């Protein structure tokens, strides 16, 4: 249907765009605090297993579907299955998930933009570490301010997606990603000199069994792997659809997974040492990145420069991820409804903007914040506000279920010959084919189902262990 869908300029362009989608707030903001909440070492090991055994095969499956069909998720799945197949539900799930995830993602990205402003105007100068922590709390509670930055961030995202694949998404990924790597290395060197590095390292990689809850933490590791790798909702199907048919799916996926994981581990090894060196409590939850780094910058000679630079890059990392989320919904309207890119982007972006309003208000006392927290308390231990609920359900449930669907679809629904040829095309790693299929057929579905059922408390029926 679509005449000129657009295409990546080169393989490197695709790798950078896919890595740009994967590397984002999930790595720099979410991974460190989730790791802290789940007790470090053991969680990190479970996370790495989830990436290697579940995430990587699904990433290959998604890019494979997109590259084969040259179409966005709904159309791609339609073209690879029978008419009116229930598999189409997977395509729809992607469009819904794209709206939901981007709606709260944009709010966090907004925090990051606010911190560009704060650090550029030297607002942390002379503050104690505790006071820097308070700065985050007051931002979190300020609905109006959150709303303002949410709108600014969505406007930027819409602007890039409107510009299209090569001139928008690829162009920006090429510049921003390398810059992010350089800054991370600078910060790592700094973290190593703080004196908190050994403690921080032990915190991240040591075992704190009391914080690791088998059912809940394993689910969190799985959800984090899906979120961080941009899996389970067709973002990489969409990106794969702008790839030439002879590109290498296998090594590309390995590179993207590797980069993403490296950045997540780096982020944890940067943030915790800084926090420990400042004598602060590591239980900072969603504020971790926004407390730890300003402390570091306020104490570094070059901090006045590095601070704004870092938060700018964090914003850009969020932006290259957000565009992949918006692109899923946008591509749907372009490919399926024949809308122009401009119209599709404005409608999907506008919709996300509205859906994000309750998330922006979630730190405050109103209905979406404090009152919802009170109301949900009995069910969700400390209570969850609107933002927490969306984040929890989309990451821990929607994405794993979507990934389960994609794995099952490719392993059992796509014909053997087409799947094998697709995998082998363009790659020197054809020998991995057998293993990939086995993982998709058995380990991925079983593993994901077990983790989900376990978290639901299914096993409690048999073993009377209702923790979850």
Interface ranges with ligand TRP (CB under 6 A)? 21-22, 24-27, 101, 227-228, 230, 233, 235, 321, 324-325, 399
Distance in Å, CB of 355 to ligand TRP, minimum: 16
By beta-carbon proximity to ligand TRP, the closer residue of 42 and 398 is 398
Distance in Å, CB of 447 to ligand TRP, minimum: 19
Q: Tokens standing for 271?
A: 């943030």
What is the crossing angle of helices 341-355 and 143-163, to 10°? 160
Distance in Å, CB of 202 to ligand TRP, minimum: 26
By beta-carbon proximity to ligand TRP, the closer residue of 235 and 357 is 235
By beta-carbon proximity to ligand TRP, the closer residue of 111 and 227 is 227
Nearest Cα to Cα of residue 443 among 433, 454, 435, 452: 435
By beta-carbon proximity to ligand TRP, the closer residue of 230 and 292 is 230
Task: Give the separation between CA 134 and CA 130, rounded to whole angstroms.
Answer: 6
By beta-carbon proximity to ligand TRP, the closer residue of 227 and 297 is 227
Say if residues 176 and 23 touch (Cβ distance below 8 Å).
no
Distance in Å, CB of 67 to ligand TRP, minimum: 17
Say if residues 53 and 224 touch (Cβ distance below 8 Å).
no
By beta-carbon proximity to ligand TRP, the closer residue of 271 and 280 is 271
- What DSSP letter does each residue of 160-173 carry, written as one string? HHHH-IIIIIIHHH
The DSSP code for 431 is: G
- Spatial neighbors of 433 by CB under 8 A, at least 6 apart, are 420, 423, 424
Distance in Å, CB of 105 to ligand TRP, minimum: 6
Distance in Å, CB of 113 to ligand TRP, minimum: 15
Q: Tokens standing for 75?
A: 């159309």
Distance in Å, CB of 344 to ligand TRP, minimum: 18
Q: Is residue 40 helix, strand or coil?
A: strand
Distance in Å, CB of 324 to ligand TRP, minimum: 4
Distance in Å, CB of 403 to ligand TRP, minimum: 10
Q: Is residue 184 helix, strand or coil?
A: helix
Residues paired with residue 207 on neighbouring β-strands, in sequence order = 40
Reported as half-sphere exposure (CB side, CA atoms, 13 A), residue 128 has a value of 4
Longest dimension (CA), the chain: 65
By beta-carbon proximity to ligand TRP, the closer residue of 233 and 432 is 233
By beta-carbon proximity to ligand TRP, the closer residue of 27 and 345 is 27
Q: Is residue 207 helix, strand or coil?
A: strand
By beta-carbon proximity to ligand TRP, the closer residue of 108 and 135 is 108
Distance in Å, CB of 306 to ligand TRP, minimum: 22
Residues paired with residue 187 on neighbouring β-strands, in sequence order = none
| Sign of the four-CA dihedral 260, 90, 73, 164 | negative
Q: Is 249 exposed, middle or buried (0-12, 13-18, 19+ CB in 10 A)?
A: buried
Distance in Å, CB of 321 to ligand TRP, minimum: 4
By beta-carbon proximity to ligand TRP, the closer residue of 33 and 227 is 227
| Sequence-separated contacts (24+) of 207-210 with Cβ below 8 Å | 207/39, 207/40, 207/41, 207/42, 208/39, 208/40, 208/41, 208/42, 209/39, 209/42, 210/39
By beta-carbon proximity to ligand TRP, the closer residue of 22 and 90 is 22
The DSSP code for 124 is: T
């Amino acid at each position: 249907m679509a005449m000129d869908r657009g295409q990546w300029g080169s393989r490197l362009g695709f790798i950078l765009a896919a890595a740009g989608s994967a590397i984002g707030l999930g790595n720099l903001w979410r991974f460190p605090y989730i790791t802290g909440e789940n007790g470090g070492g053991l969680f990190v090991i479970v996370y790495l297993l989830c990436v290697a055994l579940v995430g990587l095969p699904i990433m290959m499956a998604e890019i494979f579907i997109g590259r084969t069909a040259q179409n966005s998720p709904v159309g791609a799945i339609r073209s690879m299955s029978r008419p009116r197949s229930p598999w189409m539900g997977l395509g729809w799930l992607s469009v819904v998930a794209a709206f939901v995830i981007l709606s709260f993602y944009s709010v966090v990205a907004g925090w990051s933009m606010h911190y560009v402003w704060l650090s550029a105007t030297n607002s942390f100068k002379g503050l104690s570490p505790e006071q820097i922590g308070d700065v985050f709390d007051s931002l979190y509670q300020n609905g109006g301010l959150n709303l303002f930055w949410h709108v600014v961030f969505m406007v930027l995202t819409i602007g890039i997606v409107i510009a299209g694949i090569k001139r928008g998404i690829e162009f920006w990924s090429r510049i921003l990603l390398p810059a992010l790597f350089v800054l991370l290395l600078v910060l790592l060197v700094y973290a190593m000199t703080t004196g908190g590095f050994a403690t921080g390292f032990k915190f991240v990689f040591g075992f704190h069994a009391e914080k690791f809850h088998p059912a809940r933490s394993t689910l969190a590791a799985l959800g984090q792997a899906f979120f961080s790798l941009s899996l389970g909702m067709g973002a990489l199907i969409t990106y794969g659809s702008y790839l030439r048919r002879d590109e290498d799916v296998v090594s590309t996926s390995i590179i993207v997974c590797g980069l993403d994981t490296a950045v997540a581990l780096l982020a944890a090894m940067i943030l915790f040492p800084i926090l420990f060196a400042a004598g602060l409590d590591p239980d900072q939850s969603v504020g971790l990145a926004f407390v730890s780094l300003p402390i570091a910058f306020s104490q570094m000679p070059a901090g006045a420069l590095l601070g704004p630079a870092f938060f700018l890059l964090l914003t850009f990392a969020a932006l290259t991820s957000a565009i992949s989320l918006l692109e899923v919904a946008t591509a749907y309207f372009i490919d399926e409804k024949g809308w122009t890119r401009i119209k599709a982007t404005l409608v999907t972006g506008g919709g996300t903007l509205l859906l994000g309003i309750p998330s922006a208000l979630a730190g405050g006392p109103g209905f979406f914040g404090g009152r919802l927290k009170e109301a949900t308390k009995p069910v969700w231990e400390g209570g969850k506000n609107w933002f927490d609920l969306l984040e929890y359900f989309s990451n821990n449930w929607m994405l794993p279920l979507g990934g389960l669907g994609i794995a099952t679809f490719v392993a059992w629904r796509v014909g053997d010959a087409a799947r094998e040829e697709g995998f082998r095309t363009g790659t020197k790693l054809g020998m991995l084919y057998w293993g990939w299929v086995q993982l998709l057929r058995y380990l991925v579905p079983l593993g994901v189902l077990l983790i989900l059922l376990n978290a639901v408390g299914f096993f409690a029926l048999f073993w009377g262990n209702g923790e979850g």
